[in-house]
Copies of this chain bind each other. A is one copy, B any other.
Amino acid sequence: MSTPLNPASEEAVVAALEDFISKMEEAAPNLYDRNYITFFEENPSPKNYGETADAEGKAAYEARLGQPFEDLLQNMEGARWQGEEESPYTGKDLGITYPVFSAETLVERANLAREEWERSSPDERRACLVLALKNFEARFFEVAHATMHTTGQGFMMAFQAAGPHAADRSAESLLLCYDAVTQNDTASLWEKNMGKITLQLEKTWHTYPYGISLAIGCSTFPTWNTLPGVFASLMAGSPVIVKPHPKAVLPLALAVACIQDALDVCGFEPEVCQLAPDTAAEPLAKQLAEHELVKIIDYTGGAAFGEYLETLPGKILFTEKSGINAAIIHSVQNLDEVLGNLAFSICLYSGQMCTAPHHILIPAEGVHTPEGLVPFDEVARRYAAAVDSLAQNPKAGPFVLGAIQNKATLERLGLLKGKGKELLDHKQVAHPQFEGARILSPLVLEADESQYDQIAHEIFGPAVLVVKAQDLDACLAMARRMAVEKGALSGAVYTTDEELEEEIAYALNSAGIPVSFNLTGPVYMNQNAAFSDYHVTGGNPAGNGSIGDVTFVLRRFFRVGNKFGNLRGRNQ
């Protein structure tokens, strides 16, 4: 790479790192309190990032269009330059090309970089990875524009989710893994009184990663879903091969460049973390996953490929596949506030979040409110109206909806239409900055719990089913059954009867569904905060890569101990 990503002098870098690490250490005990902790500023205002940050980030993104991506510090021998990203906003190819390597080359290079990295100290690795996060922070605006034009997210979500939130979840993984790796003492004089004699042994303990890691990214949240696993594996001492989705390479390419730069600055081989771009025609994920030296796999994407990965023997696998997320409306204080909140949840990024509620379950008798029982039909109608109103609001709609990442999403939604009574059809929505952006407001259909086999499927994109079920128990049973059979990543329940909360929570939690009770205002069931919300609990088939849980970092390495009969004071 020609110029360093972080132009600060070495001293300034060292000072910034020390400051950041001391903040992290301060936060570490609170990790397990799971209170509000954040290291990165989610508000992109000039106050936080400077007057010129947005313009510079946008310009940096635009300068990449039509060019080869040359920021990686990988050996370019054997590279074929390819790229097939397309902006859902402009409809145009980005024209950026990336170096494509064979799976064998990537694994070989990771293996060459392995020993030095796995033998480095946890403190050395942590310092290097903190520097990588600081590098990444300096690029949040460029990453935001890159994310917007690959995933279709609105700018604000693209900034927050791909930048600060992804960095916070990565810091969380880093902290959890550092804590896990350093939790046990590394050496001890071990004494056992055996009556006449006291047996003395010196013991030492070490951690080693299981092998090379592979991180497979998705097209909708390339950094948020992928970087926590990458940072966890790197902290565990494992080299990582990052394989982005061919339609959303740039955000991860920027992240990997930031990591490689930090590795280089710290004197490590940059190929400890490699970018492994591929194409739809010649995908690499299978070859990489099946390679015998690849032992740890992080995967975000469709269920079918995830289930194939689950069949591979001898791999440690963390998945986020897909699920059916239900919101149940039983009784409310203010129906319009609730329907507005749930309308936002499905409009946000056009129902392309893995945590969006595509199944709204309502008891047949309707919803209890302070003004009396509102019949099911009226609730359904008012919900559809709330969705329509948000989507068609020119000041909010296009920015909340974002754009549809993949054309195929719309084709799949076409198949949904026959499954229920149409309460609201898709409508075109214009974007003030991007004429012809791929935006469509959500379809709202009404269905009945008796149609279970027809409707208990993942819905991805702008569409939602309002489902009539016999009563609250039937709503809970259906939400639970969908989770147990197909997975679920989120759940919401609205009830004013606080005495029901414990049983409702148990019914859904024990099927691995986290429950958001009675959310209104600017907080949504779709959202998962770093240092506080587990993402993917592992309790149902939606996946097992529970970001924020210690298990997510611990399973990447093993512990091994040595004993020494010849004492020489290793523990001094």
Mark A residues whose CB is within 8 Å of B: 32-36, 43, 118-119, 180, 183-185, 188, 190-192, 194-195, 197, 199, 201, 203-206, 208, 210, 310-311, 313-314, 496, 498, 501, 505-506, 509-510, 512-523, 529, 532-534, 537-539, 541, 546, 549-551, 554-555, 558-566, 568
Among B118, B191, B505, B534, the residue within 8 A (CB) of A36 is B191
A559 touches B534 (CB 8 A): yes
> Which residue of the partner chain B has the closest CB to A30?
B185
A33 CA / B512 CA spacing, docked (Å): 34
Q: For A522, what are the chain B residues with a Cβ–Cβ distance below 8 Å?
A: 194, 197, 199
A565 and B185 form a contact (CB under 8 A): no
Q: Which of B118, B505, B558 contacts A537 (CB 8 A)?
A: B558
Task: Point out the residues of chain B lying under 8 angstroms from A564, CB to CB.
Answer: 501, 517-518
Could you tell me the distance in whole angstroms from the C-beta of A395 to the nearest C-beta in chain B? 18
Tell me whether A568 and B118 are in contact in the complex, defined as CB-CB below 8 angstroms, given that A36-B190, A509-B208 are known contacts. Answer: no
Specify the main secondary structure of chain A where it touches its partner: loop
Q: Chain B: which residue is nearest A563 at the CB level?
A: B516
Q: Nearest Cβ distance between residue A94 and chain B, in whole angstroms? A: 34
Nearest residue in B to A562 (C-beta to C-beta)?
A: B515
Asked if A568 and B498 sit within 8 Å, CB to CB, the answer is yes
Among the interface residues A517, A555, A565, which one has the most CB atoms of the partner chain B within 10 A? A565
- 6 closest pairs, A vs B, by CB? A538-B558, A518-B565, A519-B565, A539-B558, A518-B566, A537-B560
A339 vs chain B, min Cβ distance (A): 14
Neighbouring B residues of A560 by C-beta, 8 Å: 509, 512-514, 534, 537, 539
Rounded to whole angstroms, the CA-CA distance of A194 and B558 in the bound complex is 41
A36 to B185, CA, bound (A): 13
User: Assembly of this chain: how many copies?
Assistant: 2
Q: Select from chain B the residue with minimum beta-carbon distance to A186.
A: B34
Q: Does B546 lie within 8 Å of A558, measured CB to CB? A: yes
In angstroms, Cα B170 to Cα A124, docked, is 36
Chain B residues near A521: list those with CB within 8 A.
199, 565
Instruction: For the complex formed, measure the closest distance between the CB of A113 and the CB atoms of chain B, giving whole angstroms.
Output: 15
A34-B203, A210-B539, A510-B208 as given contacts; A565 in contact with B517, CB under 8 Å: yes
Question: In the bound complex, how far is the Cα of B45 from the Cα of A195, in angstroms?
Answer: 12
Q: Cβ of B565 and Cβ of A520 under 8 Å apart?
A: yes
How long is the Cα–Cα vector from A514 to B185 in the complex, in angstroms? 16
* Chain B minimum-CB-distance residue to A533: B561
Q: Name the B residues within 8 Å of A514 (CB-CB).
A: 560-563
Q: Are B183 and A32 in contact (CB under 8 A)?
A: yes
A181 → chain B closest CB, angstroms: 11
Give Cα distance in the complex from A178 to B99, angstroms.
Answer: 49
Residues of B close to A180: CB separation below 8 A: 550
Residue of B nearest to A341 (CB): B565
For A119, A498, A561, the residue with the greatest tally of chain B CB atoms inside 10 Å of its CB is A561
A35 to B562, CA, bound (A): 13
B523 touches A565 (CB 8 A): yes
Contact across chains for A188 and B559 when beta carbons are under 8 A apart: no
- Closest-by-CB residue of B relative to A519 is B565
Residues of B within 8 A of A538 (CB): 210, 558
Partner of A519, one of B43, B549, B563: B563
Min CB distance A167 to B, Å, is 17
Asked if B549 and A559 make an inter-chain contact with CB atoms under 8 angstroms apart, the answer reads yes
How far is A537 from B210 in the complex, measured between Cα atoms in Å? 11
**Cα–Cα distance between A158 and B190 once the two chains are bound (Å):** 24
14 A-B pairs besides A118-B510, A515-B562 with CB distance below 8 A are A201-B523, A310-B313, A501-B564, A513-B560, A514-B560, A514-B563, A515-B563, A516-B565, A518-B564, A518-B566, A519-B563, A523-B563, A533-B563, A551-B554
Question: Shortest distance in angstroms between A510's beta carbon and chain B's nearest beta carbon?
Answer: 5
Closest to A313 in B: B310
Whether the pair B313, A313 counts as a contact (CB closer than 8 A) is no
Judge whether B35 and A190 touch: CB under 8 Å.
Answer: yes
**CB <8 Å contact, A537 and B559:** yes
Compute how far the CA of A182 lies from the CA of B527 in the bound complex, rounded to whole angstroms: 25
In the bound assembly, the distance between CA atoms of A358 and B455 in angstroms comes to: 60
**Least distance between A425 CB and chain B CB atoms (Å):** 31
CB–CB B532/A190 < 8 A:
yes
How long is the Cα–Cα vector from A564 to B516 in the complex, in angstroms? Answer: 6
B-chain residues with CB within 8 Å of residue A505 when the two chains form the complex: 204, 206, 562
Of the candidates B33, B509, B513, which one forms a contact with A188 in the assembled complex, judged by CB atoms under 8 Å apart? B33
A517 touches B562 (CB 8 A): yes
Name the contact of A33 in the complex, choosing from B185, B559, B561, B566 (C-beta under 8 A). B185
A562 CB contacts on chain B under 8 angstroms = 505, 509, 514-517
State the CA gap A521–B567 with chains docked (Å). 14
Chain B nearest Cβ from A332, distance in angstroms: 10
In contact, A32 and B539 (Cβ under 8 angstroms): no
Known contacts: A522-B199, A549-B559. The answer to whether A34 contacts B506 by CB under 8 A is no
Within the complex, what minimum Cβ distance (angstroms) separates A563 from chain B?
Answer: 5
B546-A559 in contact (CB<8A): yes
User: Which chain B residues lie closer than 8 Å to A519 at the CB level?
Assistant: 563, 565
Query: Which chain B residues lie closer than 8 Å to A523 at the CB level?
Result: 199, 201, 563, 565
